[in-house]
Structure 1
Amino acid sequence: MESKPFVRRGRPYVGPVQAVILDWAGTAVDHGCRGPVAVFTRAFGRFGLEPETAEVRAPMGREKREHVAAMLNMPRLAALWRERSGHAPDDADVDAVFAAVTELMPGTLADYAEPVPGCVEAMARLREMGVKIGSCTGYSRSMMENLLPRAAAAGYAPDCVVPADEVPAGRPWPWMCQTNCMRLGVHPQEAVLKVGDTVADIEEGLNAGHWSVAVTRTSNALGLTAEEAAAMPAQELARREEALARSFREAGAHYVISSVADLPELVETIAARLRPRRHVLDRGIEEFYDYRMGR
């Protein structure tokens, strides 16, 4: 196997963008992140609770057991659980609801595997540019078993997929991103874009040292199908996206784009930002050697 030169740390990275790492629902597939909402709503329904959509969406992006725990810790849902069971939600209750989520997730997600508009074309363009496609998700490997082949049949098949149960902890920890980088053979972390639709995604990217990119139109926060977004008056859609973009920037996102369809253009923008660094670094090295040689 041909080896690549190793980039020694200690000076700014001046190479090309090597990879993008994408979240799944609300980012690459499932416009509006509808699949997880359906699963959590059904899972809690088995225990006599009817969570509001906002309650389901609030912890989105986190590992799914943590998602269940966060919901059961919400005042309204905790009070309803206590009313029905006679005690506050505990770890055993989290496990019980999570078991229902795990059971429901594979079959449900298969119905929400459609890539967002422009995703397939954007991935093809990125590969033409020499950029590798990674993926990470709060789903477990078993939850992905039906989603992966359905997405692939629709044209979306990342080079690497790392689910939350294959690392020590999910978002906002950087382990899924770092595992992607190891499996893809990309280095350093500044050569990678992490793309997602939640604050947890943004934090994950920042913690991994990547360019952290958020998407708005397809996101969990907007919660719109592609058809609903297309039918919404343009000014209203733009207003909602800009409000969400502000919140993502406040969370630390380096860039905010409407959808992954915009990724090739963004990669070119970031590559252009890196090129001047190469010129400055090269000039600095030349001046240093001129000084050492007494020129």
Structure 2
Amino acid sequence: MIEAVIFDWAGTTVDYGSLAPVIAFKKAFENAGIELSDGDIRRDMGMAKWDHIGKILKLDDVKQQWEQKYSALPNNNDRKKLYEDFQISLLHYLKEYTELKSGVLKTFKYLNDYEIKVATTTGYTAEMMKIVQDKAAKDGYVPELVVTSEDVNGHGRPFPDMIHYIMEEFKIDDPKNIVKVGDTLVDIEEGQNAGVRTVGIVEGSSLMGLSKIEFDELSSEEQLAKRNQVKRKFESVNTDFVIDSIFDLVQIIEYLNESMDKKW
């Protein structure tokens, strides 16, 4: 039986489109005179933010811009300054972009009713999570356990350490009794590295990269095309299940429980 569900935050349960970190990354690099595209930012979304900045600094376009502006490649001090600016920006924007996504409370109630534990992992720091958690709690979403890379000696995604930490806290031995739900490929990689079931959410995901207004303004055909584009990305990394929205998670859990019952 499924004993626990581990959710991501931005793009999965809050912040439709995972907009806050994108804006903050752009602001931090803009302060350094470097222009980033959404694609530059989103390709490694979900990692611990220090690691994510390191990945961005290794992009060819970013290195070229940096060398052109500073006549040198970025060093560790540059990375630290970018990280500090990113933190300042994100702490500001998190206050604006922490609305729960549609269906979260209904799904959370189902999990509670069936005594399925709820935990979360994130690329945010504990300081960032305090803002997100407090807002989510006021709206009725209170996971039993919230884990950041700071709880596991900095070993954030895609390492499985945060999930292993949750398994130990929940006293769950079999990873197949856990479902990891996220909106990025790094979420899926984290789950796969831990041996748990993985579920990718399509609508409102960082992979889709659209705000709720932008998505709603698309025609039905355009929406379908966007959904299929994201599904193909999840399928390309062998995600166990891909769902349009968090509403569909209940069906996945019931399917898994039924399948596990038949094996017995």
Identical counterparts, % of pairs: 30
Query: 2:226 aligned with 1:243, yes or no?
Result: no
Give the structure 1 partner of residue 187 of structure 2: 201
Query: 2:212 aligned with 1:226, yes or no?
Result: yes
What letter is aligned with 1:152?
A
Q: Does the 8 Å CA contact 1:39/1:108 hold for their aligned counterparts?
A: yes
Give the structure 2 partner of residue 146 of structure 1: 131
2:238 match: secondary structure: coil
- How do 1:99-248 and structure 2 match up within 5 A? 99-168=84-153, 169-248=155-234
Q: Does the 8 Å CA contact 1:203/1:252 hold for their aligned counterparts?
A: no
Gap regions ≥5 residues in structure 1? 1-15, 279-295
Q: In 2, distance between residues paired with 1:238 and 1:185? A: 41
Give the structure 1 partner of residue 246 of structure 2: 260
Deviations, residues 216-247 of structure 1 (Å, cap 9, x unaligned): 11110111222322332222212221222122
1:144 match: secondary structure: helix
Q: Does the 8 Å CA contact 1:160/1:184 hold for their aligned counterparts?
A: no
Q: Does the 8 Å CA contact 1:106/1:144 hold for their aligned counterparts?
A: no
Q: In 1, distance between residues paired with 2:217 and 2:252? A: 26
1:77 match: secondary structure: helix
Q: In 1, distance between residues paired with 2:4 and 2:148? A: 18
Q: In 1, distance between residues paired with 2:142 and 2:216? A: 26
Query: 2:67 aligned with 1:82, yes or no?
Result: yes
Query: 2:20 aligned with 1:51, yes or no?
Result: no
Q: In 2, distance between residues paired with 1:52 and 1:242? A: 22
1:245 match: secondary structure: helix
Q: In 1, distance between residues paired with 2:198 and 2:59? A: 28
Structure 1-normalised TM-score? 0.86
Q: Does the 8 Å CA contact 1:218/1:258 hold for their aligned counterparts?
A: no
Please report how far the alpha carbon of residue 49 of structure 1 lies from its aligned counterpart in structure 2 after TM superposition.
1.6
Task: State how many pairs are aligned.
Answer: 263
Q: In 1, distance between residues paired with 2:15 and 2:59? A: 26
Q: Does the 8 Å CA contact 1:106/1:147 hold for their aligned counterparts?
A: no
1:68 match: secondary structure: helix
1:145 match: secondary structure: helix
Give the structure 2 partner of residue 6 of structure 1: none
What letter is aligned with 1:236?
E
Q: In 2, distance between residues paired with 1:166 and 1:263? A: 27
Deviations, residues 110-134 of structure 1 (Å, cap 9, x unaligned): 2111111111111111111111111
Give the structure 2 partner of residue 271 of structure 1: 257
What letter is aligned with 2:30?
G
What letter is aligned with 1:222?
M
Please report the RMSD computed on the Cα atoms of aligned residues, expressed in angstroms. Answer: 1.3
Deviations, residues 45-91 of structure 1 (Å, cap 9, x unaligned): 21122211211212101110111111111111111111222211122
Q: Does the 8 Å CA contact 1:107/1:146 hold for their aligned counterparts?
A: no
What letter is aligned with 1:113?
T
2:249 match: secondary structure: helix
- How do 1:271-290 and structure 2 match up within 5 A? 271-278=257-264
2:121 match: secondary structure: strand
Q: Does the 8 Å CA contact 1:21/1:192 hold for their aligned counterparts?
A: yes
Q: Does the 8 Å CA contact 1:106/1:145 hold for their aligned counterparts?
A: no
1:135 match: secondary structure: strand
State the structure with more CA Rg: 1
Gap regions ≥5 residues in structure 2? none
